[in-house]
Chain A
Amino acid sequence: METSDDESLVTSPCRHCHLSSTVDVITQGQTCPGGEVTCSGDGEEVASRAQSHCVDHTTCTLCCGSHDGTHGPIRRSDEDQGAELCLRDDVILTDRISPNMDMEGSKVNRCHQQEGGGHCGGRATGGTDLYLDEPFSQVTSDSDTQEGDLTSDPPVFSDDDAFTELLQLGELNHPAPASATTTHHRHSLQEHSRRPGIIEYFSSRKQRSISQSVPGWKLFGKVPPKQSPSKQARIIQQQSAEISQSSLSSPDFQEFEARQVSGRNSPTHHAAGQQSRRKVEFEPLSTTGLILEDRPPNLPAKSAEETQRHRQQYKEMVAGAKRRELKEAQRKQQQLKERVRQEEEIANAMLVWNQNILPQWDTMRSSRRAQDLWWVGLPPSVRGRVWSHAIGNELNITAELYDIFLCRAKEKWGSVGTAQTADGASADGESSLDLITRDVSRTFPSLCVFQKGGPYHDLLKSILGAYTCYRPDVGYVQGMSSMAAMLILNMDEVEAFVTFSNLMNRPCQLAFCRGDHQLMFRYFRAFQVFFEETLPRLFAHFQSSGLTPDLYLMDWILSLYTKPLPLDVACRVWDVFFRDGEEFLFRTALGILRLHQDVLLHMDLISIAQFLSRLPDEELLSDRLFSCISASVMLSGNRKWSQVLLEQTGC
């Protein structure tokens, strides 16, 4: 951070041309610490600048004098700003290098202040006035405070733009606007949280300086070209642009704007305003400003070392906060970009599905393109059609058939109401219908569409009821409601029934829904083979904790992942399940375990079981899970899932 700060400051050419006060100061201070300071601080360029300060004092004043002649008070006030900035820079450097500078510092500042006052009455010396005790530290702390303050307001850009505007304004109308400019700049200095902002300001001034004060520029501009710093600056500018984009509307920003407005206006109105007013104006807005303030005069002052240490610590804190903020802003930006990109992708994918794949389903379904598009998730608008195409209808269920079973179910429901209590321990089929009624209302409760009175309540009940009449040998199994609900969310009634019936007819689903113990355990054992192969450490941990796959797989398979995963992620699992078949369900399980492996390795049985029954919904879960899934290849030796599953029969 330090480095970049310094570099960014180095890029500010303005200081080279309006250093009158700094230079004055240095001479008044009877020493030439600037040289020392800058030498160790920033390398060549600054060093040469500093030396020139010391040596070319007269030239400098001369140069400034010529400015005055040409541009009047505005220029002066600008210079003051420049000086102030420089002061500040120097302070930073001083801080690091010689604590003794404090003494000089106060002298420096006092004199600087005088000069500021002398140059133009409207100048915003309030800040310095307030902190006469130790103005040096104040200058630093002031801006630093603001940094702390504003770590979350990004809008430097606008600040600087506005400033530049004002600056131009100020040039047109003499003294009063000039002071406004100054004040404003004071603000932008305060808002120094944005170093890039300052840089911007500087770079905007660079041209001005060159064009308007050529001698000054040249005098102090005999420095080696600064390429890398400006590059750095550009990067920072970009970042700051991102930040300002991403959080322009933050409350901090509004506050900042309000402040800015007040900073803009009041000095204009009270151009030659009294000191007291200005004092109020520049009162530190944040209590954190007090941190670096010196002890009251009646108490012993901090030692120089202590002061320096405190400043250093404070700066580190501020730098840390800035880093965090920048990171956060970048992350948000990234997210936004990602979302836009995804939406575009979905729109494109939808076109391809609708125009190329779906019309020639049989030839296209196994094409590379379709398979790839399938993997990233189906666009919601074609999802239902692709699912029903993919599962087919080998049971040859028709709309008429559905109507027949639905009628039967409705009949039964009608009679259940009366028969239920009389014949308590009645047949399983009846209690199935009973269960359906109960379960429909608690299907995806968060969606509020399957609850009684919700738009899909009757629909879900119909499909499940019709299914139990169609397949009394399977009946209703808890878990089916969420599977049927998932279909209803993506297709119409008859299509959902057809797809549901065919889905339940898949061997894996049939085994689990029938509660076929033997078959289920065959699946579990086959899964264990791949589990051990792909995640040996976690497998061993599960084994030693006594966590058998039935404790989590049953839940996952029977709800087809609608229970453990958030709905959108579950949808994507379904997509590929319809592409790859039951194997993918177990591959997903491996993906989930891989994704959470590190956490799971440190849990005991019950925590794991609890964790796995409702997985945490995290950011980008879908993508992260799917990359874990693709990392879990279903190969044990050379054997594929189906082979391994077959082998389990013998056991």
Chain B
Amino acid sequence: MAKQYDVLFRLLLLGDSGVGKTCLLCRFTDNEFHPSHISTIGVDFKMKTLVIDGIKVRIQIWDTAGQERYQTITKQYYRRAQGIFLVYDITSERSFQHIMKWASDVDEYAPEKVRKILVGNKSDEVDKRQVATEQGIKLAKAYGMDFFETSAFTNHNITETFTRLAEQVLAANKKDLDLLRMSVNDEINLAALEEEEGLCDSAAGDQGKGCWC
């Protein structure tokens, strides 16, 4: 079980039920779009490895159930996250209004250092739009977040959004990362001698995990 990554992030998808969190995720990880996903119960998981600035970043994405009923459960996962997507549906005013509630929950339960990004999904459904792009931009500014309008259906801005958040998390953890890099190098040098025992990967991987989880 060699771990082929340098660092490990945990990102969380939050937002009302039906805004398209699972669709965003499937588009990002598998480049697939299914209009009818089974509603998420509790939390679902996906992962993908990105290379950012030459660093192999493995991101775990926790896709939470949007229904309020599940929030007592999902809130306990916030503290494990380094980055959070706040997703609303541009065709649903209500899902946009709920962003404030989601954001305040995040403030309450997530670690201070957590990075957030605002996502207005279903940008392809222009006819049904209820939330103007400007509203999204304004809200994002108020929270000091970046903002993207995406469409899982047309694959618009998906990779950009995920990469942006990953970059931000990476930057926020720069100090740890530098430390990590040094230790990784140490490990690699060390491992070069003991390569036959296959210590390299697992040691580096553990290091990555140890730093951030």
Contact = CB atoms under 8 A, between A and B. Distances in A.
Q: Do A and B come from one complex?
A: yes
Interface of A: 420-421, 424-425, 428, 431, 435, 438-439, 441-445, 451, 475, 477-479, 481-482, 513-515, 517, 520, 546, 550-551, 554-555, 558-559, 563, 602-607, 609-610, 613
Nearest to B95: A424
B135 interface: no
Given A424-B97, A602-B1, A609-B45, A478 B72 contact: no
Interface stretch (B34-42, B109-117, B140-148): B34-42
Given A438-B17, A441-B36, A481-B39, A610 B67 contact: no
A515 B70 contact: yes
Chain B CB count within 10 A is highest, among A546, A550, A603, for A550
B18 A438 contact: yes
Interface of B: 1, 3, 17-18, 34, 36-47, 60, 65, 67-70, 72-73, 93-94, 97-98, 130, 213
Given A445-B36, A478-B40, 9 more contacts: A424-B93, A442-B39, A445-B34, A478-B70, A515-B72, A555-B42, A558-B42, A604-B3, A606-B60
A324 B93 CA distance: 61
A533 to B, nearest CB: 25
Contact of A550 (B37, B46, B73): B73
User: Top 7 closest A-B pairs, CB basis?
Assistant: A554-B42, A442-B36, A606-B60, A478-B39, A445-B36, A610-B45, A609-B45
Contacts of A514: 69
A581 B68 CA distance: 28
Given A563-B38, A606-B60, A425 B97 contact: yes
A235 B38 CA distance: 52
Contacts of A517: 72-73
A606 B45 contact: yes
Chain B CB count within 10 A is highest, among A438, A441, A554, A602, for A554
Contacts of A563: 38, 41
Contact of B69 (A441, A451, A477, A603): A477
Contacts of A428: 68
Contacts of A424: 93-94, 97
Contacts of B70: 478, 515
A439 B39 contact: yes
30 contacts: A420-B94, A428-B68, A435-B17, A435-B67, A441-B36, A442-B36, A442-B38, A443-B38, A475-B69, A478-B17, A478-B39, A478-B67, A479-B39, A479-B41, A515-B69, A515-B72, A517-B72, A550-B73, A551-B42, A554-B42, A555-B43, A559-B41, A563-B38, A563-B41, A602-B1, A604-B3, A606-B45, A609-B43, A610-B45, A610-B47
B24 to A, nearest CB: 16
A425 to B, nearest CB: 7
A74 B36 CA distance: 72
A606 B34 CA distance: 22
A444 B94 CA distance: 27
Nearest to B40: A478
B68 A555 contact: no
Contacts of A551: 42-43
A487 to B, nearest CB: 17
Nearest to B70: A515
B25 to A, nearest CB: 11
A376 B36 CA distance: 33
Nearest to A437: B18
Contacts of A602: 1
Contacts of B17: 435, 438, 478
A558 B44 CA distance: 14
Nearest to A609: B45
Contacts of B44: 555, 610, 613
Contacts of A550: 42, 73
Contacts of B41: 478-479, 554-555, 558-559, 563
Nearest to B44: A613
Nearest to A611: B45
A310 B213 CA distance: 57
Contacts of B43: 551, 554-555, 609
A607 B93 CA distance: 36
A609 B77 CA distance: 13
Contacts of A610: 44-47
A420 B94 CA distance: 9
A478 B73 contact: no
A555 B39 CA distance: 11
Chain A CB count within 10 A is highest, among B38, B67, B70, for B38
Contacts of A558: 41-42
Contacts of B39: 435, 438-439, 442, 478-479, 481
A645 B41 CA distance: 24
